[in-house]
Structure 1
Amino acid sequence: MLLSSDADSLRSDLRARLPKILPNRLGVAVSGGGDSVALMHLLHEIAQAEGIELRAATVDHGLRAASADEAQTVAEHAGRLGILHDTLCWRGWDQIGNLQDHARQARYSLLTNWARDQDITAIALGHTADDQAETVLMRLGRAAGVTGLSAMSAMRSQDGIQLLRPLLDVTRQRLRNYLTEIDVSWIEDPSNQDARFDRIKARKALQDLEPVGITPEVLVRVAENLAQAREALAVFAQESARKIASVSHGDVVLDRAGFGELPDEIQRRILVGAVLWIAGAGYPPRRTAVEQATKAVLTGQAGSIGGCLLVPKGNKAWICREFRVIEGLAAPIGERWDGRWVMSGPKAKTAEIRGLGEDGLLQLPDWRATGRPRLALKSSPAIWQGEDLLAAPLAGHPNGWRAELTSDWPEFHASLLSH
């Protein structure tokens, strides 16, 4: 039985992992499992003590018959604590690809959208030391590098929302002991026993490795050590990028000679950082794709990676948006296009924002005067009225219009510290 002094210690440990000043309204994701239920209770105590509002959300993936009832159970549990709760439903599984990966991406998207709608700037997640250790073990099996083996970060930003993981050094068993002490039950997800999933295999492997001293606590320390190495490499990558990489109207331009003098790991970080900055937040490209793209930059060859094109031009390599990805993408005037562009100019009620494309370039005989590669211009934002091109600010035809990156889009070099 957990002593009350350890419950106090648990709450203190969790608080130390949270930002020093909490937002006035904090979100918590609660699946109904022991980890997230314990997190909700601990945060409830902290919220009451510090005078902040706590709100809870449960993602119902709709993959099991009992999921709706479980979400309702969480809602009732939160209600007894006086916490407002919302159930977020996902019905997007098309039976194609990796189920757990699709579900994870959908979960984060639903949670961050919910947070914005509720004026919540940060969401606490219930990942534990065991989750961290399992992640390290799975990534070890994939021959991951420093970034992969540093596993989950205690804090990161997604779609403008801070995701907090204050339980990464707390074991699953310690949280269940806490719930038992305060007489609170939780839901056991049957998928946690399904050996078809890699995470469950990793969980079993950890049990087998414990006799040789490889425990969740040890792997958490390994991840923390590698996280420090990751941060140092990120700083070096940022400093290097300031010397050999520049930004031109939303594209990243590399000096190939300077790029070639950098260590392989720094080359990889700058290239991946540029792709993620241009294409938007997401999972980094696979290592094989990065290796091929790096070789293309060094040898002055064309290529593609992660929704971006590599375009050689003299002693430079341009990294720009791939037109194929944004072809057919349209947005009304006043809304963002391709996630990062906003256009401002004369009133044009029936106009819309689309990619310039080949059709647009044919209407701009002087596009070469911009000095930018044709492929980079093709994917730049333009104002269209039907088939008529009204403006293409980045292609030398502003016609009273301006194209700018959205105010919340990070500066490229600064963004390298977050990858």
Structure 2
Amino acid sequence: MAELDAVCAELKLDHEQAIVAAVSGGSDSIALLILLQDYLNRLATTQAVPQLVAVTVDHDLRAESAAEAQAVAQFCAQRKIRHITKVWNAEKPHSGISAAARAMRYHLLMEAAREAGASMIFTGHSQDDQVETYIMRQSRQKTASGEGANDLRGLAGMAVFTVLAKEFLLVRPLLKMRREALRDGLRAKNIQWIDDPTNLDTHYERPRIRQTRKEEEHQSYLTLIDQAAAKRTEINEQVADYWDANAQLVELVAPDIVLLDRTSLAAMPQAAASLFIGFVLAHIGGKNHLLRLEDRDFIYQTLSASQSSQKRMNYAGCVIEAGVKYHRIWREQRNLPVVSVAPKSKILWDQRYYIHNNSDEAIEVRPVTREDFHDFCMKHDLKRQSFFQPAVFSCPGIYKKNQLCGLPALRLQCAEMNDISVSKHYALLDNVLTGHDFILALRFYQHFGGGEFNPVANICRKFHKNRL
């Protein structure tokens, strides 16, 4: 169909060895698989095309799930499409099963994509899914905060393109297609699909929405989604443009210490400044979500107020210190983990740092005590005063045999660190980066992530004929 063709035409599919289609056996995913195969067959007459690989995730939550995965495998075999089944074998949580299943689905899809040599994962989300997602998010916002509905970011809907784990491009080419139109296409070809009974189980949120929403309101919801997406893009661009024009706005003096220029921040449009503050706090605090809009606005108003005295606030795992010329933000020292890292392995510490232990002995990563920092400075002839000490005690300390051998976040290390490397993790963007935020994420990676390492730019260059 034209909608899928238009999305796929933007991608550099001829550069790909394989592409993955997530296929549960339901009507939307079967339609996606057929449409992708038809598109690739037509494209093959003029250029090289990737192998199409169907991946079914068996969540092992229903007795029928294994048989359904096998039915999808047989369907793919008939159409000469490679098929992979991934099973969620781990113990299931007692609560939050829908969210856990969704997270595991994407984890297993990425695992299968690596096996297949694919960097693109296609899903069959339809326009109906988009509207249902909007209604669910709107309901959660109103429940979480009386004023939460004022924050339109979460109501922008699913993006056509999303980056997963800085490695995969998630593509949703059917977001403009109605579910019933996809089913009509399958009926015309006499192709059957599997109806998952959980789609009718009103114990789950989405089936409740699906069964109660009114068809006559469908177009109204689409309008609201478009408005929210446009507003999100507009504010993202405001932040990016203001940052480009005011380079002095922020200075990253260490990976977890930020200085905000008071004058530049106060002159920034409030909506843009509020979002900017949220991104900075998520970066410093290791959060994979933004602070509430009301809290971000309060912080902006407090920092922008005409006052000469200093004031401290704690939000999102950060200390925010208002100053006369600069505001300073650093990670607070509470709830910092102590983690052992086995030889030849890596861990994510405090959602902020990946610690790679390439040595032959175990190490421990933990916050540094004042005594250990004093001894380390004495041993290596360092002046303690040259470091902002609140940040020292919130960054990862690398210990071997109970001896501090490095503070790599502050670029302090000794010979014992030669087989240990540390890389920054930006939880808000590195796990799931929606296409709505590519423009703003580009700026944050440029300023905070290192000049040569920019996942957004890399993804754009790799996958897209122009830009995402």
Rounded Cα–Cα distance in structure 1 between residues aligned with 2:168 and 2:196: 27
> 1:125: Cα distance to partner?
0.8
Q: Among 54, 57, 60, which residue is 2:58 paired with?
A: 60
| CA deviations over 1:300-353 (Å, ceiling 9, x no partner) | 324241xx42353753222438662543253646746537656799x9532536
Aligned partner of 1:328: which letter?
V
Q: Among 360, 385, 395, which residue is 1:369 paired with?
A: 385
Residue 184 of structure 2 corresponds to residue 177 of structure 1: yes
The equivalent residue for 1:106 is 104
The equivalent residue for 1:236 is 238
Q: Among 222, 227, 230, which residue is 2:229 paired with?
A: 227
The equivalent residue for 1:386 is 401
The equivalent residue for 2:254 is 249
Q: Among 5, 21, 28, which residue is 1:35 paired with?
A: 28
| CA deviations over 1:82-139 (Å, ceiling 9, x no partner) | 222222222342203x222222122222222332343211100111000111122222
Secondary structure of the residue aligned to 2:277 is helix
The equivalent residue for 2:117 is 119
Which deviates more from structure 2 when the two are superposed, residues 385-394 or residues 334-343?
A: 334-343
Residue 318 of structure 2 corresponds to residue 309 of structure 1: yes
The equivalent residue for 1:17 is 7
The equivalent residue for 2:86 is 88
Tell me, yes or no, if the aligned pair for 1:323 and 1:378 is still in contact at 8 Å: no
Residue 200 of structure 2 corresponds to residue 202 of structure 1: no
Tell me, yes or no, if the aligned pair for 1:301 and 1:311 is still in contact at 8 Å: yes
The Cα RMSD (Å) is 3.4
| CA deviations over 1:182-215 (Å, ceiling 9, x no partner) | 11111111121122333223223432x51xxx22
Q: Among 167, 175, 188, which residue is 1:168 paired with?
A: 175
Which deviates more from structure 2 when the two are superposed, residues 60-69 or residues 15-24?
A: 15-24
Rounded Cα–Cα distance in structure 2 between residues aligned with 1:193 and 1:256: 54
Rounded Cα–Cα distance in structure 2 between residues aligned with 1:341 and 1:322: 15
> 1:268: Cα distance to partner?
3.2
Give the 5 Å matches for 1:339-378: 341=353, 348-350=359-361, 352=363, 354-358=365-369, 360-365=372-377, 368-374=384-390, 376-378=391-393
The equivalent residue for 1:128 is 126
Q: Among 382, 399, 405, which residue is 2:423 paired with?
A: 405
Taking a change above 3 Å as real, the CA distance of residues 352 and 329 of structure 1, as seen in their structure-2 partners, is closer
Rounded Cα–Cα distance in structure 2 between residues aligned with 1:184 and 1:398: 62
Aligned partner of 2:254: which letter?
H
Taking a change above 3 Å as real, the CA distance of residues 254 and 115 of structure 1, as seen in their structure-2 partners, is farther
Taking a change above 3 Å as real, the CA distance of residues 367 and 106 of structure 1, as seen in their structure-2 partners, is farther
Taking a change above 3 Å as real, the CA distance of residues 130 and 76 of structure 1, as seen in their structure-2 partners, is same
> 1:380: Cα distance to partner?
2.7
Taking a change above 3 Å as real, the CA distance of residues 87 and 295 of structure 1, as seen in their structure-2 partners, is farther
TM, length-normalised to structure 2 = 0.74
Which deviates more from structure 2 when the two are superposed, residues 292-301 or residues 316-325?
A: 292-301
Taking a change above 3 Å as real, the CA distance of residues 73 and 145 of structure 1, as seen in their structure-2 partners, is same
The equivalent residue for 1:330 is 341
Tell me, yes or no, if the aligned pair for 1:130 and 1:172 is still in contact at 8 Å: yes
Aligned partner of 2:170: which letter?
L
Which deviates more from structure 2 when the two are superposed, residues 401-410 or residues 257-266?
A: 401-410
Secondary structure of the residue aligned to 1:136 is helix
Which deviates more from structure 2 when the two are superposed, residues 322-331 or residues 60-69?
A: 322-331
Which deviates more from structure 2 when the two are superposed, residues 331-340 or residues 43-52?
A: 331-340
Taking a change above 3 Å as real, the CA distance of residues 361 and 407 of structure 1, as seen in their structure-2 partners, is closer
Rounded Cα–Cα distance in structure 1 between residues aligned with 2:221 and 2:117: 36
Rounded Cα–Cα distance in structure 1 between residues aligned with 2:352 and 2:276: 20
> 1:75: Cα distance to partner?
1.7
Rounded Cα–Cα distance in structure 1 between residues aligned with 2:352 and 2:336: 14
> Which runs of no fewer than 5 residues in structure 1 stay unpaired?
1-9
Q: Among 62, 72, 75, which residue is 1:74 paired with?
A: 72
Rounded Cα–Cα distance in structure 2 between residues aligned with 1:56 and 1:321: 45
Rounded Cα–Cα distance in structure 2 between residues aligned with 1:48 and 1:321: 56
| CA deviations over 1:153-179 (Å, ceiling 9, x no partner) | 010101121110000000000010111
Which deviates more from structure 2 when the two are superposed, residues 274-283 or residues 59-68?
A: 274-283
Which deviates more from structure 2 when the two are superposed, residues 183-192 or residues 79-88?
A: 79-88
